[in-house]
A = this chain, B = another copy of it.
């Protein structure tokens, strides 16, 4: 059974297990510092399809297929799949799940989607509704760029605070039976909006949401940063990460030793011209599935907080003068002691 600890914060009496997981990434992500950790690198940004949107769908399908294969499961074993992405109406996910033919809960959490999907899938698994529940998300540089910013062929200049949307997907399959890395609790995020309106500085818009969620979790469960090997954020990038550390330091909490940011890790900003780092739902999903979960499996980390952050604006809402609301969802991952 799950237990409420505080508003939105919960723990699992019986941990839910990560039964399978996989990460798939594009060529640029494959050339980055984490390149060797992804299950598969797809050099063709069209992934053999006619459109980038279809390619993104295929990235998701590939991540789910590999996660199933690694877990020695078939899609008939899945009782639910939580999926979402950044494309309008989340079509990347709708068309991928159409192929999978699995009961489908569509999510929109922008780049927080992986953590949101893990929370809902963990609760479905814990409750007994799902024997195996999958969570998947993706992003694609080219689908995001033309939808949120400019047509690629326009060749627009990127600002120093801009992040680079990752072409990547990550999938996790949960069960109650199998796997040594567990979800033992989490925190559903609240929306935080301090008035940032710059679509090229989303790290700054999301940092306060990450701070709120991390603080709420730490104080609700009564732990300190030192109790964790890593406190991982989704994709704040370099500017947003430094802002997160500042916000928490002002509240007397120093996470600088434990903090890692998937957006800041996935690219080499000097060599790869990615400015503030990576972003997109697929960024934290692929770094979680390619880097952090394998690290825990190998026994190199026992306890990780994974807080994926999402910026919930649209190009239209910004044109209408709104600022950027952000959310961060958190799951606590723990390696089971043998």
A positions within 8 Å CB-CB of B: 1-4, 7-8, 10, 50-51, 53-54, 76, 79-80, 84, 86-91, 94-95, 97-98, 101-110, 116, 119-120, 123-124, 126-131, 187-191, 193, 310, 312-317, 320, 322, 325, 327
What are 25 A-to-B residue pairs whose CB atoms are below 8 Å?
A1-B128, A2-B127, A4-B128, A4-B130, A10-B129, A50-B320, A53-B316, A88-B314, A88-B316, A91-B314, A91-B316, A91-B322, A95-B325, A103-B190, A104-B190, A105-B109, A105-B119, A106-B108, A106-B109, A106-B116, A106-B312, A107-B108, A120-B120, A123-B124, A127-B127
| A3: B residues at CB distance < 8 A | 128-129
Q: Which residue of B lies closest to A110 (CB)?
A: B89
Main secondary structure of the interface of A (DSSP, over half): mixed
**A8 to B, closest residue via Cβ:** B103
**Distance between Cα atoms of A211 and B80 in the complex (Å):** 19
Give which listed residue, B91, B94, B107, B317, contacts A53 with CB less than 8 A: B317
Residues of B within 8 A of A187 (CB): 103
Given A80-B188, A91-B322, 12 extra CB contacts under 8 A:
A1-B128, A8-B80, A88-B88, A88-B314, A89-B317, A91-B312, A91-B317, A94-B312, A95-B322, A103-B190, A106-B312, A123-B129
Q: Which B residues are CB-close (under 8 A) to A131?
A: 4
Residues of B with C-beta under 8 A to A126: 127
Q: How far is the CA of A59 from the CA of B193 in the complex (A)?
A: 21
* Residues in B neighbouring A98, C-beta threshold 8 A: 191, 193, 325
Chain B's closest residue to A78 (CB) is B7
Chain B residue contacts of A123, Cβ below 8 A: 123-124, 127, 129
**Chain B residues within 8 Å of A53, by CB:** 316-317, 320
Going nearest first, the 6 A-B pairs with the smallest beta carbon separation are A8-B103, A103-B188, A94-B312, A89-B314, A108-B108, A2-B127
